[in-house]
Amino acid sequence: MQFSHSKLLINLKNLKNNYQVIKNFCKGSICSAVVKANAYGLGDAEISKFLIKNGCNDFWVANISEALRIKQSISKINIYVFNGLNKGEEELFYNNNLIPVINTFDQFQRWTSFLSKKNSYDKLIIQFDTGMCRSGIQFNEVEKLKQNRKMLNKFKDVILMTHLACADDKHNEYNLLQKKRFLKISKEFPGYRYSLAASGGIFLGKDYHLDMVRPGIALYGGRLFFNKKLKNVVSLNSPVIQFNQLKKNETAGYSRTYKTNKNILTATIPLGYADGIKIGISNKGFVYYGSTKLPMIGRISMDLMIINVTKVKDKIRVGDHLEIFGENFKLDNFAKLSNTLPYDIITSVSERCRRVYVN
């Protein structure tokens, strides 16, 4: 098995480091964790359990299915569901002690009406749209919500939140505009807790931290430029399953997009676009064998990739693993080469790639 499967190596020591770096950077704020999309492809239950051991008790997912999967193995944590409360889900949320992020006034009415019948007023979280124009209470609904302060005040814990559109760019003035809009809303709803920053917003400064921060990609080794203390967490490796001797002027891969100009040795590895590798890096990407950089050649196939291993022909063997991204070539750099974002890369790594937790 170890010689036939690609592996996504997840460095738990570095994950712990990143969580502590963020937590220390946001002293005075609760440091939660975003584990949506199967913890960005790393395994939501496993990652959540590990972060719980390191002091995290608040987790964010996209939908109720993700929340229920985590709840199967972990019970006493707060799980907030970004996509909110859809019709008919009230019992499911309530019976499983899940917390929907209220994104519309209609959701607010339905959820508070349901909870009133249960006489249950524990946690309530409401998102305001301050400029993302995607999810959250709209400005024309704020007044309606203000008229329901009596209902809001019944809850033991109320969190108001928003989401920044341009937090990856610390010089973007839209960050300041959204912060001002949210702080204005917070003044209209005093006495609660407030959450403004996800990964990028955290490193915009302490003015963005408020009561709770919501790191996601920064935990998992993406966007390392946010802070020099953050470390790489994921490495994608794939084993050599076959060698081929190509003579000068032979071609490799579909549509014969690569032609040799001399005799070379190639290796085939079981990794392709069905595993999340973007076809756009065909003939321009590379992998590492130890510290040696080796070019991808030919068009990326659904399940396979061809590598020119002539540089290491005297020592490479079937079963040896090549690194696609990781310590030698960080996730951010691989994403840039692939003309996409690190979020896209790690959430696209297929289940065919075995998740291996190290350190």
Positions annotated as catalytic residues are 36, 254
What is the spatial distance between Cα 236 and Cα 325, in angstroms, rounded to a whole number? 5
CA distances from 182 to 107, 127, 142, 153, 350 (A): 20, 10, 12, 20, 38
Among candidates 86, 343, 125, which has minimal Cα distance to 219?
343
Among candidates 352, 217, 202, 159, which has minimal Cα distance to 272?
352
Q: Which amino acid is at 356?
A: V
Among candidates 237, 236, 198, which has minimal Cα distance to 321?
237
